[in-house]
């Protein structure tokens, strides 16, 4: 019995010792005598940090042209060819262009000529709208901001028009075909992945028969004669492909938008109003982008898919196999057809794009910055000269190891300002230590730098 108690007490001592270890002098010497080396850390809190401090104007113009080129190709392949809708006011003109194309084609105009007119409207109307908007930005926001934005816009719209009229360019679908299985709508390039009226028609009281969404319907006639039919497997597949296109386009466009904002410009159009509203009301760019773009997107899809489909369905007829004749067309003018896969996937693009912009361009997020240096006085004076306006505090401190007195400079700034702030501080003290951390919440007033500079 004694031995068992001794074993138990030994185990208890060992257990508590592991929770509260006792180090001998030899153990402490091993710890303190380890080798040390100085490591350099770089701030990674801001994406594309080097571009914030970019001062060469010609480099900014080259970036704007390169981004315009990238977006022109992406818009043709991922938007125009697939049935997605682009953002902002451009979505409205995209819808107008599609309605005009359908109307001209139904009147018998050659499809190639109708395609040229479509692209002229698709890309050209947006440029005309931007003339007064650019003048507004020039006087209300910043002159260089307006110039850089219009260079990007002209590159995007000009090259987009060229790509659009190149034979076969607008038919490229990298990841799969997303044209509707509806033969008549597809003939007139109406990009509306729709489902049958039965898709919405089976209501029993307050419940809805969701099985119809995944039921392959029985269609009559040939594919070229279909105007509307029940939900088919192909539509589900094409809707999933369209979702893939929307995610990829959101990744590309959000990076382009953020880079334009970072160099002190925008992608023009509704972005002029987005930036102006963001600065005046101190709101996140991405949030405002989602609001404006969603409204424009719905208008564009209503015109480009719903109205265009209605014009086509009014002139088409369904083939009745039992009577061997064409019957009256099933009308496209029902509210159910507004809710197409094109609408849902385009809205996914809008929301995802806005969220990513806020992540890549966190203009209104705040950080607490601590600078440990014996030259904090000089740093403070230098920041005053360059009109740094945020709260700043100078503190006396004592080094924990050396016991020597040191200085600490504290300030609060926006995340996007951090790279430029660190660059200015390094001009005074190359060897100072700069620490930054996010501020979850703040209450009070402080002077904010404008996004454009």
Q: Quick one: pLDDT at residue 198?
A: 40
Q: What is the pLDDT of residue 67?
A: 94
Measuring CA to CA, how many Å separate 208 from each of 193, 201, 213, 230, 298?
Answer: 21, 9, 10, 16, 25
pLDDT of residue 225: 38
DSSP strand pairing (366-372 vs 392-398): unpaired
Distances (CA, A) of 137 to 86, 231, 265, 276: 22, 47, 10, 8
* Predicted local confidence at residue 281, as pLDDT: 65
pTM of the model: 0.71
3-state DSSP assignment of residue 82? coil
- C-alpha distance from residue 441 to each of 63, 200, 210, 367, 419 (Å): 35, 46, 44, 10, 22
Per-residue pLDDT of the chain (453 residues; tens, 9 = 90+): 545 555 555 555 544 444 555 556 666 555 555 555 555 555 555 666 677 767 788 999 999 999 999 998 898 888 888 888 887 788 888 889 889 988 888 888 887 888 888 888 888 888 888 888 889 888 888 888 889 999 999 998 888 888 777 776 666 777 888 877 666 677 777 878 875 544 333 334 444 444 444 443 333 344 433 333 344 455 677 888 899 999 999 999 999 988 988 888 888 888 787 777 776 666 666 677 788 888 888 898 898 888 888 888 776 555 444 554 444 445 667 666 777 888 888 889 888 988 888 888 876 778 889 998 888 889 999 988 888 888 888 888 877 777 777 889 999 888 777 878 888 888 888 888 888 888 877 777 766 655 444
Q: Determine the Cα–Cα distance for residues 211 and 218; give it in Å rounded to an integer.
A: 15
Cα 137 from Cα 64, distance rounded (Å)? 17
Q: In this predicted structure, what is the pLDDT of residue 213?
A: 42
The string of DSSP codes covering 11-26 is: HHHHHHHHHS----HH
Structure confidence at residue 332 (pLDDT)? 67
């Amino acid at each position: 019995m004694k031995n068992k108690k001794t074993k138990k007490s030994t185990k208890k001592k060992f257990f508590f010792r592991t929770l509260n270890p006792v180090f001998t002098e030899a153990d402490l010497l091993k710890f303190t005598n380890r080798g040390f080396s100085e490591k350099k850390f770089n701030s990674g809190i801001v994406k594309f940090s080097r571009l914030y401090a970019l001062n060469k104007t010609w480099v900014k113009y080259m970036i704007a042209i390169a981004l315009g080129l990238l977006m022109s190709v992406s818009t043709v392949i991922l938007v125009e060819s697939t049935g997605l809708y682009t953002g902002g006011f451009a979505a409205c003109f995209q819808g107008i262009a599609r309605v005009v194309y359908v109307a001209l084609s139904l009147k018998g105009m050659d499809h190639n000529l109708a395609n040229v007119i479509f692209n002229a409207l698709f890309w050209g109307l947006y440029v005309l709208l931007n003339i007064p908007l650019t003048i507004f930005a020039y006087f209300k926001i910043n002159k260089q901001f307006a110039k850089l934005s219009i260079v990007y816009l002209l590159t995007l719209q000009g090259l987009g028009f060229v790509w659009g009229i190149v034979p076969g360019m607008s038919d490229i679908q990298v990841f799969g075909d997303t044209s509707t299985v509806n033969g008549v709508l597809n003939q007139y390039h109406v990009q509306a992945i729709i489902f049958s009226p039965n898709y919405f028609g089976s209501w029993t009281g307050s419940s809805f028969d969701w099985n119809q969404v995944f039921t392959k319907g029985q269609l009559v006639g040939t594919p070229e004669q279909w105007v509307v039919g029940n939900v088919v497997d192909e539509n589900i597949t094409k809707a999933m492909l369209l979702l893939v296109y929307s995610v990829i386009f959101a990744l590309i466009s959000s990076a382009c938008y953020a880079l334009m904002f970072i160099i002190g410009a925008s992608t023009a159009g509704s972005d002029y109003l987005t930036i102006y509203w963001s600065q005046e009301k101190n709101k996140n760019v991405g949030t405002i982008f989602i609001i404006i773009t969603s409204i424009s997107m719905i208008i564009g899809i209503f015109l480009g898919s719903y109205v265009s489909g209605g014009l086509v369905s009014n002139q088409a007829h369904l083939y009745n196999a039992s009577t061997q004749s064409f019957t009256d067309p099933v009308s496209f003018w029902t509210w159910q057809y507004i809710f197409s896969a094109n609408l849902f996937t385009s809205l996914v693009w809008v929301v995802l794009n806005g969220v990513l912009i806020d992540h890549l361009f966190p203009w209104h997020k705040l950080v607490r910055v601590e600078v440990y240096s014996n030259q904090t006085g000089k740093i403070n004076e230098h920041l005053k000269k360059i009109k740094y306006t945020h709260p700043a505090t100078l503190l006396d401190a004592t080094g924990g190891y050396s016991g020597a007195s040191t200085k600490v400079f504290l300030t609060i700034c926006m995340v996007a300002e951090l790279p430029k702030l660190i660059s200015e501080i390094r001009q005074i003290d190359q060897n100072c230590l700069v620490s930054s951390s996010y501020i979850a919440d703040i209450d009070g007033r402080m002077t904010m730098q404008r996004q454009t500079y």
